[in-house]
Structures are given as C-alpha cells and as structure tokens.
Amino acid sequence: MSSRGKRKEEDGRASDDDAEAHAPAKKVAKPADSSDESGDIVVCNISKNRRVTVRNWNGKIWIDIREFYDKDGKTLPGKKGISLSVDQWNILRDHVEEIDKAMADAS
C-alpha cells in the first residue's frame, strides 16, 4: 500500500471517515444556470477557472473547491482542488473570524 494514503487512527478507520450519519440534504428548486453538466450545484465562481460546488457523491454531501479546464468545448474538473465533508466544512466555517483576524494581523 502506498504511503500517500490516508492516515489510520488507532481503531483502524481512516481519519476522514465519519462515524455519524448525516441527514440527507433538503432538495431545493434550483435556477437553470446554478448547476453544471454533472448536476453539481455551482455555488459561485471564485475566479475564471475556479469554482465552489456542492455535490452528492456516494450518498454523502461534499463541498468542492476546484480548478476547471476546457477540453473539446466542455468544462472539466482538474486535479487541483479540495473536497470537504459537511463536518470539515462546518469546522472551517466556524473559524472564519479567526482566519480574517489572522489575515489582518499578517498584513
């Protein structure tokens, strides 16, 4: 097995696995231009080739911040990006004020 895989916790589970089940996301009517070809909900474009999407993959909700590229007239997701579970997103969201303060202190 590659050493680049997920680190294992003492109980043998990968550290990103969630022991708790999440309630399914509520379905909301979407404007026609808010989803991409894959059906992912495009929340916003943060630059020309970067976007934030919310998707359901393997029965779990993921927040995806990713670079995209154009090939043969289609916009496709690239390798550069990160997918956050709902728990990870909630942790990040809860620390936004601290991140803003750190940015102010760094400037």
Residue 24 lies in a domain: no
- Within a domain: 25: no
CATH code for the domain of 83: 2.30.31.10
Model pTM?
A: 0.61
Q: What range defines the domain where residue 100 resides?
A: 32-106
Domain assignment of residue 98, yes or no: yes
Contact 41, 53 (CB under 8 A): yes
- Percent share of the chain, pLDDT over 70: 65
Q: Quote the number of domains for the chain.
A: 1
| 3-class SS of residue 38 | coil
- 92 within some domain: yes
The pLDDT tens digits for 55-82 are 999 999 999 999 999 999 998 999 999 9
Three-state secondary-structure class, residue 9: coil
Any residues with CB less than 8 A from the CB of 25 and at least 6 apart, and which? 54, 56, 61
